[in-house]
Amino acid sequence: MNPSCNLFIIGPTGAGKTSIGRRLAVHYGLPFVDLDQEIERHCGVDVNTVFEIEGEAGFRQRESALLDECSRRQGVLLATGAGAVLATQNRDCLGERGFVIWLQTTVEQQLERLEHDHRRPLLAVPNRHEQLQAMAQIREPIYRELADLAVPGQHGSVATASERCIALIDHHWQRQSTAWPRQNA
C-alpha cells in the first residue's frame, strides 16, 4: 500500500471518477483536480478539439505531461481520464505518488450512463458497446494491477456511490493502521 496523502481515481469512462471524486475531495479535505479539465484549461479548448487537431497521440502527450505535474502535488485528489493508465510513465507516477482507487463499472452501466453524452471522442463510433468492450479488454488488467483499492460499481446515486467509496477507503486504512485519510468534521 502507498501511504501517500494523495488519492488518485482511475477507471473506465462513465465510472463516476469526476462526480465521486469531487465528493471524496470534500470529505477528505483535499483539493480536487480533474485531469481532463486541466488539459482543457491549459489548452484553452475542450478535449474534443485537442483530439481533432492533434489526434489521440497529441492528446496523450499532453495528458502525460499534466499527469506528471498534477501527481507531484501533495495532498490532492486527482481524477484521471480513463485512458491515462495506458502509458507506463503515467502508471509509475500514479503508483509511486498516491493511493490509487479503481472505480469499477460494467459496459452495460457505461452505456446507460453515457447514453446522451456525445462529448467523448473515443466513443464517437457507430457501435459504442463494441468500443467499450474493446477498451475494457485492454484497460481492466491495467486498472487491476495499478489499484490499491477496487470499488465495485453498482447502480445508484452519486451520493450513495460516494458513501460506499468513503466506507471502503476508511475500512482499508483502518485495516492498514495508517493515520491517513484526513476527514472533515
Mapping DSSP onto H, E and C, the string for the chain reads CCCCCCEEEECCCCCCHHHHHHHHHHHHCCCEEEHHHHHHHHHCCCHHHHHHHHHHHHHHHHHHHHHHHHHCCCCCEEECCCCHHHCHHHHHHHHHHCEEEEECCCHHHHHHHCCCCCCCHHHCCCCHHHHHHHHHHHHHHHHHHHCCEEECCCCCCHHHHHHHHHHHHHHHHHHHCCCCCCCCC
128 is in an annotated binding site: no
36 is in an annotated binding site: yes
113 is in an annotated binding site: no
72 is in an annotated binding site: no
Amino acid at 20: I
65 is in an annotated binding site: no
46 is in an annotated binding site: no
117 is in an annotated binding site: no
Nearest Cα to Cα of residue 30 among 90, 83, 79: 79
14 is in an annotated binding site: yes
How far from chain centre, in Å, is Cα 89? 16
167 is in an annotated binding site: no
18 is in an annotated binding site: yes
Residues annotated within the binding site for ATP are: 14-19, 120
Residues annotated within the binding site for Mg(2+) are: 18
Residues annotated within the binding site are: 14-19, 36, 60, 120, 139
Residues annotated within the binding site for substrate are: 36, 60, 139
